[in-house]
Structure 1
Amino acid sequence: MRGVLDRWKAAVDAHEPQRVAACFTEDAIFQGLHPYSVGRQGVADYYDSQPLGMTAEYRILETRRLADDLVLGYLGVDFSFTDRPTLGVRLGVLVRRAAEGGWFIGHYQVSRLDRP
């Protein structure tokens, strides 16, 4: 899980949408804070629309191995910006091992946190 999430974070921090999308499966279901999409192009479009300077810090809160090649993760993520307060969210991911051995995100679901 950490391997693919570290690749995702590095690409988000560098504002490289195509590199972010490469962390996902070809048929990934992606739900950020905007309407959902399916596939890498939707992921790239979403991250391309994010402001320059946005960075992500994640914490793995829970994991469950569902099968040898499938892991469910529940994360806390703080997205920081240069011109507005940090946005804290919860992130559910399903990470799959591909036939060639690498791990990719197959499902990504963000939930916004309400902070007092």
Structure 2
Amino acid sequence: MQDVLRRWKAAFDAHQPDAMADLFTPDALFQGFGPAVLTGRDAVRGYYEAVPPGRRADVTVLHSYTIGEQAAGGFADVTFGDAHGWEAHVHLSLVLHLHDTGWKIQQYHVSRVEDEHQ
């Protein structure tokens, strides 16, 4: 979990949509800020292409767990921000799957944390 989120943060902060998409399985389910659930790497790439350059993410892993030898999951606390003061705090849940090339994100879901929930 730590390694996957470290690579995710590096690609996000550098605004690298292709690198972001490569972190996901080909059939990944993705729920970002928008209302639609996206499926697959191309959809993930498109989502991250639309993120304005200059956005950054601060990530803290809250909990991780394994499900056998080829699956894992976990939760993270993420604060997105930019140099203009925009900020969004979310909880991120992930399901990871072990592939020949390493751990990939199979399922990604963010839930925005409003002030009254902090």
Q: Structure 2: which amino acid aligns with 1:69?
A: Q
Partners of 1:71 and 1:57 in 2: CA distance: 22
Equivalent position of 1:61 in the other structure? 62
Deviation readout 1:35-90 (Å, 9 max, x if unpaired): 22100011111111011100111111111211111111111001111223321100
Give the partner amino acid of 1:51. P
CA distance in structure 2 between the partners assigned to 1:61 and 1:71 by the alignment: 14
Q: How many Å apart are 1:22 and its aligned residue?
A: 0.3
Structure 2, gaps ≥5 residues long: none
Partner residue, 1:45: 46
Unaligned runs of 5+ in 1: none
1:8 aligns with 2:8: yes
User: Equivalent residue of 2:114, what SS?
Assistant: coil
Give the whole-Å Cα distance in 1 for the aligned partners of 2:41 and 2:101.
Answer: 19
* Equivalent residue runs for 1:64-103 within 5 Å: 64-98=65-99, 100-103=100-103
- Structure 1 counterpart of 2:50, which letter? S
Whole-Å separation in 2 of the counterparts to 1:2 and 1:106 = 16
Q: Structure 1: which amino acid aligns with 2:98?
A: R
Q: TM-score scaled to structure 1, two decimals?
A: 0.94
| Structure 2: distance between partners of 1:14 and 1:67 | 33
Q: Which amino acid aligns with 2:79?
A: D
Pairwise CA RMSD of aligned residues?
1.1
Displacement of 1:5 in angstroms is 1.2
Task: Compute the TM-score of the two structures, normalised by the length of structure 2.
Answer: 0.92
CA displacement 1:79-116 (0-9 Å, x = unmatched): 11122332110000001111x15000000000000114
In the other structure, the counterpart of 2:26 is 26
* Equivalenced residues, count: 115
Large movers: runs of 4+ above 2 Å: 82-85
